[in-house]
Structure formats: C-alpha cells, structure tokens
Structure 1
Amino acid sequence: MKKIDEYVDYVYNNVDGSKEEIQELKMEMKTHLQELVLELKSEGVEEEKAILMAIERFGDENEIRSIVGLLSKKHKLFAKWLLYVSLIFLTIAPIVFATLQSKEAQSLSEKSFASTKIHSILDNRDIVSDDIKKEIASVVHGTNYISDVLIYDVSNITNEELFEYVGNKEADYQYGITRQMVGELLPSGSGNDNWYVITERNSYHTLSVLSLLLLGFLYWSLFSIWAMINAYHERRLNLKWSFVFVLFNVAGYLVFRHISNKEDSWEGI
C-alpha cells in the first residue's frame, strides 16, 4: 500500500519531535488507514479505490499535516513555558529570601537601637513623665519596624518573679502605632533593676523561610513535570524515571539524558 506510506510520510514531513515518537505516530496512522482499507475491501470495493477512499475519509493531506504540526508545536510550547516558569521560580526564590532577610536584619537593628534608647531615657527615673512619653514616642516614630513599646516598673520585683509579673500585669506605660505589617509581630524584652521594656517589631524571618520553601517547591515540581513530559515524548517515561526526576530533579534529568544518548548511539550502530 504505497499510497498510504506516501500519505503518512507527507503528513509527518518536517514535524518536530523525536524520531521514535514520530515513527510510532506514523505506524499508528498507517495501521488505522490499513484497517479502513480492509473494511472497505470486505464491502466489495477494489483495493486501489479503497485506499483512495480511506485517505479521503481520513482527511486532506495538507489539513492533517497542519493539525499534526500545530499539535506538535503546542506540546513543545507548553513544555517550554513549563521550563521557563520553573526557572523563574528558581531565580526569584533567593532574591525574595535575601530581600526579606535584609528587612529582618534592619528590624533587629532597630529593635536593639530602640530598646537601648528607651532604657537610656528611663535611666534613674522613678516615673514615666509626659516628657519621657514624648521622647519614647519620638523613638518609635523614628523607626520603620517597631510598632509597640510596653514599659513595666520592676523596681520592687525580684528576678524570679519578673516574667510572671510581666506576663500577668498591665504595662505601666504603652505606646504603639499602626504599621502596614507583612511579616509577623514579634515581641522581645530587656530590663534593669528599675524598668523592663518590651518592644514589638515586624519580623520577616518566618516569611522569608516560607517564601524560599514555597518558591523552591514550585520550581522543583514544574521542572520534574517538564522532565516527565520530555521523557514521555521520547517514549522512555516509566515509574523509575518519574521517581528519579521527583527525587533528584536536574541531576536526575542529566542522568536520564546521558543514558538516553548512550542508548541512541548504540541503536545507530
């Protein structure tokens, strides 16, 4: 059935893809056409006419070729975008992490500065006067990450009683401002014989770690899917390779490529 071979060869001429994949698709199309020819012949149609009718029923050569080429391009485009998006996640993951960690470092620095400054303002004072309150407010407003300050008079409290006292008693003075918070609110305290100061700041540590894990997971997942799609198009995907891609990612794909290239070179001999 030379006409069927010519028809199928024409349809798949210049279609992108692995040789094995294209060969398998061509065989499937030929088998389908041959079955159609046999069916027509069983109805009493002569072979030559049956072949022409089978091809005619299957579709115009140029139309089928266009559809096959379009599907091939769409599959390749999808796989390419999958790879690009995974690499974008891989690229921005350390950038987001570093940015948030930088904010965390600034927040810690401001907490240390504010705590030290407030202790110096309260030094040897018996009460939180109006002037002291104004100074404390000025310190808080001069920061970007401190949102709340709580001050406790602990002049008559022992070290053993300190944390229970602070945990159960209302602050002798509190000053806070509303900030647009992205991270979490994290309190930390420090004190001396007279005063105990708690500063609440925006912390970005947890957010930075979660962002890194999420973006890393998205990269890992998309790259693994991309590797599986490539292996599938080469008719080499199986459960073993799926596990290799998921567990070892790029390293696993490089091993797959190395073994595949070796197998192809042996087949070419």
Structure 2
Amino acid sequence: MKKVSYGSLYMAFIFLLVGFASFGYFQMKEGESLNEKRDVLSSFDSNGFDGENLKQLSFISSVKVYNVSAVKPNSSVFEYVKGASTQYEYESNSKSVLSDSIHSGSGDGKWYLELERESYHSTSVYFLMAFVMLYWCFFTYWSFMKLYEDKKLTMMWGLTLVFFNLFGYYAYHITSESNG
C-alpha cells in the first residue's frame, strides 16, 4: 500500500508542476500575442497603414483598415465603419485550437484599424485549474491512505483533508507529533 500511496503523492506534485508550467507557457504566448498587436498598431500612422509586415504575423488572424474621414463624427461606435471604405485587408487561416479570438479596434478621425488576435489567457487558466484539481485529488488520496495506514482516519480528518488539502495534512502532522 505504501508504493501506491507514495506514487500518488509523486503524481500529485507532478500535476502541480505541469499545471504551473503550462500556465506560464500559455501566459508567455499571450504576452507574445499582445506584443504583436502592439507592433501592428504602431505601424499604423496618420498616412495610413503599411501592410508589408503582416506576412510575418503569428497571432494576428485578421486586420482591416478603414478610411473613416468621410464618416460623420456623431455616428455610434458600432456604426463607425459601416459607411467607410476598406483601404487594406489581411486574413490568415492559421488559428490555434487552444486560443480564443479577441476582436479590437483603434483609430483616429481619419483611419480605423480593426484586428482579430489569438488570446491564450483563458487556456492558461483552464490548464492551471485542471492540473490543480488533479493535484488536489491525488494529494487528498495520498493523505487519506497515509492516515488510514496510521489508523487515525476519522470523519473530522477526512473533511479537513478534503477541504484544506496540504494545510489539513500539515495540521494532522503537527497534532500527531504533539500527541505522541
């Protein structure tokens, strides 16, 4: 029983490590996506838009540049580009399965830039939550088996382990040392 018990402990910490590593990886990709958005927006000036750099984009899947100089300034935000002519349009079909599409726009009185980029923020949170839940289950299983081996598994300790996990086991460890 000790091999299964310690195996589940090792698996719990591996899941925790993988969870934090995947969270960091997807947050890094989110940062790269935001940097690419910033680069696209910085190539946009009062003279228009230089679309030559768009062939090297990894995270931007759509860019549309509208000439809005003829649009009435009292138009609502959602009708801002309906009457405008498209100066430039870029579409990419390379979208990741693990990303969300985020639409955004920016402009001034003459030009309006609308773009769609890949976002990995939700994916990073989902991966972190999934692996932390796996850690929680495996560590709780290991702590149950440990208390069972010590013949000290009670309803109170069981609920403490389920709800407080590592802190619950630490509380058990402290009280079992002080009791003898």
Q: Unmatched 5+ residue regions in structure 2? A: none
The answer on whether the counterparts of 1:149 and 1:199 sit within 8 Å (CA) in structure 2 is: yes
Highest CA radius of gyration, 1 or 2?
1
Q: What is the percentage of aligned positions where both structures have the same residue? A: 29
Decide which structure has greater helix share.
Answer: 1
CA gap of 1:233–1:110, structure 2 versus 1, over 3 A, is same
Structure 1 ranges of 4+ moved more than 3 A: 166-171
Instruction: Tell me how far 1:84 sits from its aligned partner.
Output: 0.7
Q: What pairs with 1:25-104 in structure 2 (closer than 5 Å)?
A: 75-104=1-30
Q: What does residue 34 of structure 2 align with?
A: 108
The answer on whether the counterparts of 2:61 and 2:118 sit within 8 Å (CA) in structure 1 is: yes
C-alpha separation in 2, matches of 1:214 and 1:169: 46
Q: Unmatched 5+ residue regions in structure 1? A: 1-74, 126-131
The answer on whether the counterparts of 2:62 and 2:90 sit within 8 Å (CA) in structure 1 is: yes
Q: 1:165 aligns with which of 74, 79, 87?
A: 79
CA gap of 1:190–1:82, structure 2 versus 1, over 3 A, is same
Any idea what the Cα deviations from partners look like across 1:68-94, whole Å, max 9, x if unmatched? xxxxxxx22211111111000111222
Q: What pairs with 1:168-179 in structure 2 (closer than 5 Å)?
A: 172=86, 173-179=88-94
TM-score (ref. length: structure 1): 0.60
CA gap of 1:169–1:91, structure 2 versus 1, over 3 A, is farther
**Residue type of the partner of 1:143?**
L
CA gap of 1:245–1:149, structure 2 versus 1, over 3 A, is same
The answer on whether the counterparts of 1:140 and 1:147 sit within 8 Å (CA) in structure 2 is: no
Decide which structure has greater strand share.
Answer: 2
C-alpha separation in 1, matches of 2:74 and 2:173: 65
**Residue type of the partner of 2:60?**
I
The answer on whether the counterparts of 2:61 and 2:95 sit within 8 Å (CA) in structure 1 is: no
Structure of higher RCO (CA pairs closer than 8 Å, 6+ residues apart): 2
**Residue type of the partner of 2:40?**
A
Q: What does residue 146 of structure 2 align with?
A: 230
C-alpha separation in 2, matches of 1:189 and 1:174: 14
Q: What does residue 69 of structure 2 align with?
A: 155
Number of residue pairs matched by the alignment: 178
